[in-house]
Chains A and B, each alone.
Chain A
């Protein structure tokens, strides 16, 4: 599919040019409107800043989770629809650990309720006083467990679900990953129940509320933690892929797998490394997302998945920077869209941006820079 004849290609480029022009015009119109409404006092500067901060935080989570999706997409050549449920699985494994530790291994509450992250309202994270400031050890160990568990999950699932049909092409793998996504999501639902529960105690969480021109912009300790963890991991991945042989091997593989194998790259080992890095980041992003927003639910990851796809495609599949930038753009879109449109359409706006980008620039904004 795709470019097939000269006339077709010219037309495609025409459509892309038109769409790009439309996108630019739209952006200008929205900016002018924003300035107008700021001047007339329809929206406040601090109000916009709150939305921007919210969007950036969301964007960090999306970007962090997107790195893993982007890597497997470029190296294994398929869109992994189970990625969202890896996020949920990581979050639940990590929070089960955090609950157990913060609950004193059963001394503060029934051990079963702790392990099941308070299923059915049996125990609340707020009551256990969980936050990064009050119970740092529980949170840090939970974070590590979330990463480790998701790595193991990703490797095991790759071994039994994806490896046997590795060579059958992108679409059969995609369909298989949808099956895996449902199996994972509904087994999580079966064990942990369907309730959305609050997991953190925000009362004892330190935060500042600086006054900025016309209102307060609240910042909490968890915003800072998210920035530090996500930023640190992103930097680490960058260094890993840019300056090690593994990164070079990954880039080679995403360009041409058979060629990479011929030159002596152990492709299966690279694939394992991909799942390892991607899975770890995914699990951590799931845990951090829950820590930051303060609630956990069985379909958190699934609801995030399409936004992550949007970010990865926006940034260009295979590009780590692309995933990060794409994540920030999508996060900002979803959260600042409410300035112009009803809040029910915020998520729809992010999807629309993705569709527009697919049409206007299918190769993404960081095209051609695989895993770099």
Chain B
């Protein structure tokens, strides 16, 4: 993580990990401090209220899942917007393509086994499905990129959001819902969606990891049977006696996500500092100049767009692939909006910022309000809330101020899932007014491969520093 510190084009001062006036020694500490603070807030909140241990652990597991998902999504978007300046607001469409294609490839064949699903799949292993989902999302990105990348940023925005809606309408359509092609009964399921009955992805993943151990020990699925179920779940059952496996599953899946997040972070960082990444950043700064320097910017833009779309497909699979089923109307543009807020909070252009933005968004804007609702309802003993705004306001007509305050508070609490979108909108407006660069956006990496900053003052070397300035003050 300290690699980004070596990023060029920043003065010593700007490279420091400074957020809200606090100087962290490097990005790793900064991220760690943030995560510790978030988890501490969640734990303390739960413990003070006396949330049951199992509920608390579920919340923490979910929080980790959301942090992983949003951090990854913000990273992928950073490749589009932060690096290349491609204004993609069709993220959710690529996620949908990823998870649907994975489903179709990896679902069991129609009519086989005990599956009650309306439509079948190709029955291939899950890893083939995931690969297929990524390729499909990348391919859709390629088709969209060919004509669209010639357009202005705001036109590209409109094209990508229209594309994501076209994808949703296609998933909803009756005419694509069920077909028999080459002996396989497959389809997109229409409004009912697709049941993802390809088995537990976590179990399949751990069983796959177990392969070398199985060879040595001559067992099948040793890591899953003996280590995961035998040791880990058994250990947790000391604390959660009643059915501990789902809780452990949550944590294990979230941990896998965090590991993949780490890999993705390292890869994107490496890409960003490679000659390829420097061209992307140059396109962001000035496409005409990059073109004049002999780089075919269209090719670079298409490549960056396709890679980002494939990553979005992968994130879609991680996000929705474990939920048992998907329906088209899950993939509304609001999910795109979530990812954009995460990126803007962190600061577009900075990878560490993207991860931090994802974590902050997941903890305080996405999961936070729901957790708050959970806690308050536990404290108040799950009171009955008014079912509509009208009922909440009714006491006002009858003169009961206290009743009115109670009723409107309960109604507000009850509609927190809608209100949190209102809140996110306000946060986005305030961010664009006050901190358009986000937490770390000021550390935007420059496109050059050599430092553009003035060298430290040497004795007697007064004016020669100007020559190495590159003419541009970062």
Are A and B co-members of a single complex? yes
CB of A357, distance to nearest CB on chain B (Å): 10
Is B162 a contact partner of A354 (Cβ separation < 8 A)?
yes
Q: Does chain B have a CB within 8 A of A231?
A: no
CA distance A178 to B334 in the complex (A): 10
Most buried by A among B157, B158, B161, B387: B158
Give the contacts of A246-296 with B (CB-CB under 8 A).
none
Is A176 a contact partner of B165 (Cβ separation < 8 A)?
no
Q: Does chain B have a CB within 8 A of A113?
A: yes
Is B427 a contact partner of A347 (Cβ separation < 8 A)?
no
Is B388 a contact partner of A120 (Cβ separation < 8 A)?
yes
Q: Does chain A have a CB within 8 A of B415?
A: yes
Q: Does chain B have a CB within 8 A of A368?
A: no
Size range of the interface on B? 35 or more
Is B150 a contact partner of A2 (Cβ separation < 8 A)?
yes
Give the contacts of A4-35 with B (CB-CB under 8 A).
4-5, 8, 12, 15, 19
Query: CB-defined interface of B114-148 with A at 8 Å, one 1/0 digit per residue?
Result: 00000000000000000000000000000000011
Is B147 a contact partner of A119 (Cβ separation < 8 A)?
no
Q: Does chain A have a CB within 8 A of B173?
A: yes
Q: Does chain B have a CB within 8 A of A126?
A: no
Is B165 a contact partner of A348 (Cβ separation < 8 A)?
yes
Chain B contacts for A78, CB-based, 8 A: 154
Q: Does chain B have a CB within 8 A of A172?
A: yes
Chain A contacts for B446, CB-based, 8 A: none
The one of A120, A172, A345 in contact with B390, judged by C-beta atoms closer than 8 angstroms, is: A120
Chain B contacts for A2, CB-based, 8 A: 150, 152
Stretch at the interface among B285-293, B313-321, B452-460: B285-293
Is B173 a contact partner of A342 (Cβ separation < 8 A)?
yes
Chain A contacts for B152, CB-based, 8 A: 1-2, 362
Is B175 a contact partner of A1 (Cβ separation < 8 A)?
no
Is B151 a contact partner of A79 (Cβ separation < 8 A)?
no
Is B154 a contact partner of A182 (Cβ separation < 8 A)?
no
Which single residue of chain A is at the shortest CB-CB distance from B389? A191
- With A190-B389, A348-B169 known as contacts, the answer to whether A182 contacts B344 (CB < 8 A) is no
The one of B157, B174, B390 in contact with A119, judged by C-beta atoms closer than 8 angstroms, is: B390
CA distance A344 to B422 in the complex (A): 30
Chain B contacts for A113, CB-based, 8 A: 390
Q: Does chain A have a CB within 8 A of B419?
A: yes
Chain B contacts for A119, CB-based, 8 A: 388-390
- With A113-B390, A181-B425, A355-B162 known as contacts, the answer to whether A345 contacts B154 (CB < 8 A) is no
Q: Does chain B have a CB within 8 A of A171?
A: yes
Q: Does chain B have a CB within 8 A of A161?
A: yes
CA distance A119 to B163 in the complex (A): 33
Chain B contacts for A180, CB-based, 8 A: 425, 429
Is A362 a contact partner of B154 (Cβ separation < 8 A)?
no
The one of A190, A310, A344, A359 in contact with B174, judged by C-beta atoms closer than 8 angstroms, is: A344
Is B148 a contact partner of A355 (Cβ separation < 8 A)?
yes
Give the contacts of A314-372 with B (CB-CB under 8 A).
342, 344-345, 347-348, 351-352, 354-355, 358-359, 362
Total interface residues on A, CB under 8 Å, equals 59
Is B428 a contact partner of A175 (Cβ separation < 8 A)?
yes
Chain B contacts for A206, CB-based, 8 A: none
CB of A365, distance to nearest CB on chain B (Å): 15
Is A193 a contact partner of B153 (Cβ separation < 8 A)?
no
Chain B contacts for A352, CB-based, 8 A: 166
Is B287 a contact partner of A15 (Cβ separation < 8 A)?
no
Chain A contacts for B30, CB-based, 8 A: none
Interface of B is mostly: helix
The one of B147, B162, B291, B427 in contact with A15, judged by C-beta atoms closer than 8 angstroms, is: B147
Give the contacts of A189-217 with B (CB-CB under 8 A).
189-193
Chain B contacts for A108, CB-based, 8 A: none
Is A112 a contact partner of B151 (Cβ separation < 8 A)?
no
Q: Does chain B have a CB within 8 A of A151?
A: no
Chain A contacts for B298, CB-based, 8 A: 8
Is B169 a contact partner of A176 (Cβ separation < 8 A)?
no
Most buried by A among B152, B288, B428, B432: B432
Is A342 a contact partner of B174 (Cβ separation < 8 A)?
yes
Is A355 a contact partner of B422 (Cβ separation < 8 A)?
no
CA distance A264 to B173 in the complex (A): 55
Is A168 a contact partner of B436 (Cβ separation < 8 A)?
yes
Chain B contacts for A164, CB-based, 8 A: 433
Chain B contacts for A342, CB-based, 8 A: 173-175
Chain B contacts for A144, CB-based, 8 A: none
CA distance A176 to B337 in the complex (A): 11
Which single residue of chain A is at the shortest CB-CB distance from B162? A351
Is B390 a contact partner of A112 (Cβ separation < 8 A)?
yes
Q: Does chain A have a CB within 8 A of B393?
A: yes
Is B419 a contact partner of A190 (Cβ separation < 8 A)?
yes
- With A176-B432, A352-B166 known as contacts, the answer to whether A171 contacts B153 (CB < 8 A) is yes
CB of B8, distance to nearest CB on chain A (Å): 25
Is A172 a contact partner of B432 (Cβ separation < 8 A)?
yes
- With A180-B429, A183-B429 known as contacts, the answer to whether A309 contacts B158 (CB < 8 A) is yes
User: 4 additional contacts, CB 8 Å, given A342-B173, A354-B158?
Assistant: A172-B436, A178-B340, A186-B419, A355-B148
List the 3 closest pairs (A to B, CB-CB), nearest first: A179-B428, A183-B425, A182-B425
19 residue pairs of the A-B complex, CB under 8 angstroms, read A4-B292, A8-B298, A12-B150, A15-B147, A116-B390, A165-B436, A174-B87, A176-B433, A181-B425, A182-B337, A185-B421, A190-B422, A193-B389, A310-B162, A344-B174, A348-B166, A351-B163, A354-B162, A355-B147
